[in-house]
Structure 1
Amino acid sequence: MGKAESGTKEAKVVGLLRSSAVVSVMTLLSRVMGLIRDIVIASAFGAGAGADAFFVAFKIPNFLRRLFAEGAFNQAFVPVLADYQTNATKEEVKRLINAVSGVLGVSLLVVTLFAIGGARFVAWVFAPGFHAEPDKFDLAVSMLRITFPYLLLISLTAFAGSILNAYKRFAVPAFTPIWLNLVMIATALWLAPRLNEPVMALAWGVLVAGIVQFTFQMPFLYRLGLLPVPVVDFKHSGVIKILRLMLPALFGVSVSQINLLLDTVLASFLQTGSVSWLYYSDRLSELPLGVFGIAIATVILPSLSRHHAGKSAEQFSRTLDWAIFMVLLIGIPAALALGMLAEPLLITLFHYGALTEHDIAMSAQSLRAYSVGLLAFMLIKVLAPGFYARQDTKTPVKIGMVAMISNMVLNLLLIGPMAHAGLALATSISAFLNAGLLAWGLKKAGVLHRHEGWFKRGFMLLMANVALIAFLYFLVPAENNWFGWSTVQRIWHMALIIVVAVVLYLVVVFASGLRVRHLRASA
């Protein structure tokens, strides 16, 4: 009996839809807790200088985490790990994991120590506009020294999560971010009132959360017999291969994150509150992106990698086709809802305590701009794995360079007339360019082509989204009503709108011909 056949009998075959649903449910819990966290922060700190300083201090390690751990490293490590799973023994897999954990840990420790020592320089690079306001700049530097070790902790957490995902243990990594939200809520409510500078509690919350998230996953790796014993071995063939794949992927996979960071850099030169307005709107746009887009991308990367390693070109193409359809099915209505419900959503979630009506209006402008690009952000998440699963990291880099340059040009063109909202719109437009070029590259490589049924799918999507637009346009109460309602009234009306909109969308799409079997795909 061959190794692949034996592995098939031993492993439980989990459909991509089911796996995506597991990740989506866990991620939804995390995002809901994240919204509660942001509500607490908005109520306590609003959109003032302290909030701006924290969002920069948190965004720097968080950006590097997405760029490095969940971006380049994950996209390079998972295909190599899948190759070892398919063609090597478990002992060789264990040696790979040990070597990668040692190299990763030492490299990140060095980066962390340098960043803490040079915190003033790092803060100046990422938020140069703060330098004109010494108090805000010094506060950001102080918080950065506390938050930056989060990069080391969360990157090791992402490494553990990649291993669990490769072995189809999707729930644990998807649940892990919930700890960040729980810890930060606790520090904002309990620790902040006890400090001379209350906003510093948020920085301590980030650090503690990193420790909790890392330790949470260790028992699950132990049960798999894959708990890492770090060995610093830069000469291990798997490590060399991962590093070779990582270098170009470091840029290519995270262009959207670089663009969002550029928004923060330029927003630091705008009026106080601009960084916070972008943060609150970005958080809302990330809700569907994280719950659905990243969830789908998480489960297809190991699957695509196995199909490539097993030389199953047709299954590879069908997996991509399934992922694109799922993104369109969910991403189009999500983008429409975010754009049309911008003020009601922001009022319901954040208009309490220190956050003013002006802050809501400004955040709504950038939320609408981000909603324009939501579908593109989600498509990037599922198209990029089509390259990385085939261990092609050069093509996304070339595409990323084009998208990043276009974003810079658009930033400069739009920041004048539209201020912070122009930065968000520039990011959205460049995301569509990025997604389009990725799709064209996959089509040119012969791994992305149209399968049967797309005309029928397009008709379903058109009918359902037209019905959704009509419902939101004619039946959602005016903005002034939302400001006048109590918290309970806001939540009740928003919940009712969401439930009716989801039911209406599903009824129309199923009436147009969609069936559950169309949503299934094998892993």
Structure 2
Amino acid sequence: MYNHIFNSQTRTITSAAGILAVSSLLSGLLGLFRDRLLAGSFGAGNELDIYYGAFRVPDFISMVLVMGAISAAIIPIFSSYLVRSRQEAWEFFANLLNLFLFFLIIISVILIIFVPQILSLIVPGFSGEKKELTITLTRIMFLSPIFLGISNTISGVLRVFRRFLVTSIAPIMYNLGIIFGILFFVPWLGLNGLAWGVVFGGFLHFFIQLPILLKTGFKPKIILNFSHPGFIKTIKLTLPRALGLAAGQINLIVITAIGSTLAAGSIAVFNLANNLQNLPITLIAISFSTAAFPFLALYFSKKDKEKLLEEFSSVFRQILFLIVPVSILIFILRAQIIRVILGTGKFGWADTQLTAACLGIFSFAIFAYGLVLLISKTFYAFQNTKIPALVTLFTVGLNIVLCYFFVRVLGFENTFQSFLINFLDLQGIKDNSVIGLPLALAVSGIFQISLLLFLLYKKIGDFRIKEIFESCIKILASGVLLGFACYFVRQTIAEFVDMQTFWGIFCQAALASIVGIIVFIASAFALKSPEIKALKTLIYRKNGR
């Protein structure tokens, strides 16, 4: 039964994206439950600051050294070997897997030794017991990148074989491991239990995929060939991508460093809001981009530019059609979302206000970060990892400058600060400097997508810009109507429910969202949006009509 379900192949981008979206939704819901447990148990204070500060370095290793190779190199290189010879493909992968494991262990051991010095740079605002506890958690969490590194490498190969289901289940297992740690390890081990939960989640992420990898024909081999042509090509393709990811992770490290010097709980507030804004990006943009990547790489290999541009335009418009209305709903219902998801236990009203303000700012750039993923993967399909990496480096530099600028500007009374306080409903909050961090990310994200689109045009010419522009106008028009409808219902419902209770706030947010979505879909039909037609066709196919 296990093999029958998880070993099944996915044949189209839409069905693959559907599987990834559903599993991402489950993983996202578990992530929300995880954050609710964290917020309720610890509040937005020192303990969560310690956890998020400790998480940053191991996450850096996972993202840079492994995800760079997965996204940029393994899928196209393994695919090219597979076309020629399955045996050569497996030999390449076995060698790559062994070398990755070797490097991950060496790097983890070295970094474990130098954790105190590293954390002095990452969380300069921490001292005494707070810093010591952060050091302990960081050292425990360094076991996680080893499991996640091997697991994500396996995911890349399984996606080539279109085993999207099992690769999408892995993140669910990761969140389950962390939740298990919160519920069972923390009462036993204290804050250290959070770190062991992360390690357990990494192990589950790996363990769920291993049987399916073996089913596809992989047989482990003891081989360490540094001169293997496939490994050399992987390194060449990985380095620019890893550089770009390193820049992105350094970006988060700088944000963490700045946050450690602000009011207690600032790191927690930023991360909780960031996790929430990442949910639609994961559900929509990552699902479609990940599913599209193997197809885009295939069309590039076949030199079928017309088909490649057709798929790119379609996925671009589908992402916007789904992510724009969600972003508008998030902004209008930001306080309700935070209160429903995180408003429990030690997470107070001031925490809610600040986290909601950060989420509201993020909502203006969700579309940008969603499309950055697709355009970057389009460049990767061309086996060009340099352009996205260089753009990311430049964007990170801009963001770091903006972070320092906005935090400083918001540190004293001025017209800009007053505008944001009124716009984001932050009256009564003494220190609101933390909102400068998401503001910087939002501005730099919009800049990044603009620059990538320009460079994509310079590389391949017209990528069906007129088709995309016409869809954007219709999507924005429908989005404006959604916004008005959602705001009206939100204000109206508040008169009829008890806004001091969980269910009152939940009903307000749910009804406003439902009405807004109905208005959006109706207006999309009225405007004859191509994306709503595609959705209608998909529904009819599912019903066998």
TM-score normalised by structure 2 residue count: 0.88
Mean CA deviation greater in 448-457 or 429-438: 448-457
What residue number does 2:132 align with?
138
| Mapping of residues 399-438 of structure 1, within 5 Å | 399-418=391-410, 419-438=433-452
Deviation string 1:474-500 (CA, Å, 9 cap, x unpaired) is 221499889943333333433333333
SS at match of 2:344: coil
Residue 75 (structure 1) aligned with residue 89 (structure 2): no
Please name the residue that 1:265 is paired with: 257
Rate the CA distance shift 1:451–1:424 in 2: closer, same or farther, 3 A. closer
The one of 216, 229, 240 equivalent to 2:221 is 229
Give how far 1:368 is off: 1.6
User: Relative to 1, partners in 2 of residues 1:229 and 1:504: Cα closer, same or farther, differing over 3 Å?
Assistant: farther
Match of 2:33 in 1: 36
Per-residue CA deviations over 1:410-453 (Å, capped at 9, x if unaligned) read: 11210113321111111111111211111111111116522664
Q: Match for residue 160 of structure 2? A: 166
CA contact (8 A) 1:72 1:253 kept: no
1:339 paired to 2:354: no
* Aligned match of 2:3: none
Residue correspondence of structure 1 range 246-325 to structure 2 within 5 A = 246-253=238-245, 255-325=247-317
2: CA distance, partners of 1:485 / 1:171: 41
Give the letter aligned to residue 314 of structure 1: E
Report the Cα offset of residue 68 of structure 1.
Answer: 3.2
* Counterpart amino acid of residue 245 in structure 1: L
Is 1:501 the counterpart of 2:516? The answer is yes
CA distance in 2 between counterparts of 1:478 and 1:175 reads 40
Q: How big is each residue's C-alpha offset from its partner over 1:348-371, in whole Å with a ceiling of 9 and x where there is no partner?
A: 111110111111111122112211
SS of the equivalent of 1:331 reads helix
**Which residue of structure 2 aligns with residue 382 of structure 1?**
374
Counterpart code for 1:297: S
Alpha-carbon distance change, 110 to 19 in structure 1, aligned in 2, over 3 angstroms = same
Bigger mean CA deviation after superposition, 476-485 or 18-27: 476-485
Deviation at 1:382, TM superposition (A): 0.3
Given that 2:324 and 2:476 are in contact with CA atoms closer than 8 Å, whether structure 1 keeps it comes out as no
Deviations 1:437-476 (A, max 9, x none): 1111111111652266445423431331011111122221
Pick aligned residue for 1:122 from 95, 104, 118? 118
Contact 2:155 2:209 in 1 (8 A): yes
Corresponding position: 1:215 with 2:211: no
> Aligned AA for 1:354?
K
Asked if the contact 2:54–2:138 (Cα under 8 Å) also holds between the matched residues in 1, the reply is: yes
Q: Which runs of 5+ in 1 are unaligned?
A: 1-10
The alpha-carbon distance between structure 1 residues 479 and 423, as it changes in their structure 2 partners (threshold 3 A), is farther
Task: Trace 1:49-64 onto structure 2 (pairs within 5 A).
Answer: 49-64=46-61
Please list the CA deviations of residues 264-317 of structure 1 after superposition, one character each: whole Å capped at 9, or x if unmatched.
121111111100000110011001011111111111111111111111111222
| TM-aligned CA deviation for residue 503 of structure 1 | 2.9
- Bigger mean CA deviation after superposition, 270-279 or 218-227: 218-227
Match of 1:443 in 2: 457
Letter in 2 for 1:202: L
CA distance in 2, matches of 1:408, 1:19: 36
| Distance verdict in 2 for CA 1:246–1:337, change over 3 Å | same
1:98 matched to 2:94? The reply is yes
Q: Post-superposition shift, 1:90?
A: 0.6
Return the TM-score normalized by structure 1: 0.91
Alignment gaps of 5+ in structure 2 = 1-7, 411-432, 539-545
Residues 102 and 233 in structure 1, CA contact (< 8 A), matched pair in contact too: no
How far apart are the structure 1 equivalents of 2:186 and 2:214? 36
Separation (CA, whole Å) in 2 of partners of 1:488 and 1:229: 56
Q: Which amino acid letter does the alignment assign opposite residue 489 of structure 1?
A: G
- Identity among equivalent pairs (%): 25
The Cα shift of 1:227 comes to 4.8
Residue identity matched to 1:128: P
- Verify the 8 A CA contact 2:171 2:205 in the aligned structure 1: yes
Select between 381-390 and 225-234 the one with higher mean Cα deviation. 225-234
Q: Which amino acid aligns with 2:13?
A: L
Q: CA deviation at 1:22?
A: 1.0
- Deviation track 1:114-168 (CA, whole Å, cap 9, x = no partner) reads 12122212222322221xx311111111100111111111111111111111111
Paired AA for residue 496 in structure 1? L
1: CA distance, partners of 2:154 / 2:435: 37
Contact 2:59 2:145 survives alignment (8 Å): yes
SS where residue 61 of structure 2 aligns? helix
Cα offset for 1:375?
A: 0.9
Q: Where does residue 178 of structure 2 map in the other structure? A: 184
Q: Is the 8 A contact 1:256 1:377 kept in 2?
A: no
Q: Aligned residue for 1:511?
A: 526
Return the letter of the residue paired with 1:450: R
CA contact (8 A) 2:70 2:152 kept: no
Q: Name 1:153's counterpart in structure 2.
A: 147
SS of equivalent to 1:311: coil
SS of structure 2 residue aligned to 1:372: coil
Between Structure 1 and Structure 2, how many residues are aligned?
A: 506
Change (3 A) 1:366 1:283: same
C-alpha deviations, 1:79-120, integer Å up to 9, x for none? 21222233x111111111111101111011111111212221
How far residue 401 of structure 1 moved from its aligned partner, in angstroms, is 2.4
- Tell me which amino acid in the other structure corresponds to 1:89: S
Contact 2:485 2:515 in 1 (8 A): no
Task: Call closer, same or farther: CA 1:398–1:448 in 2, change over 3 Å.
Answer: farther
| CA deviation map 1:326-364 (0-9, x unaligned) | 121122112222222111100111111011111111112
CA distance in structure 1 between the aligned counterparts of 2:368 and 2:13, rounded to whole angstroms: 21
CA distance in structure 2 between the aligned counterparts of 1:514 and 1:56, rounded to whole angstroms: 45
**Residue 3 (structure 1) aligns with:** none
Q: Is the 8 A contact 2:140 2:195 kept in 1?
A: yes
Q: Following the alignment from structure 2 to structure 1, what is the Cα–Cα distance between the partners of residues 474 and 513?
A: 20
The aligned amino acid for 1:337 is: L
- SS of the residue 1:476 aligns to: helix
SS of 1:30's partner is helix
Matches of 1:222 and 1:204, distance apart in 2:
28
CA pair 479-491 structure 1, distance change in 2 beyond 3 A: closer
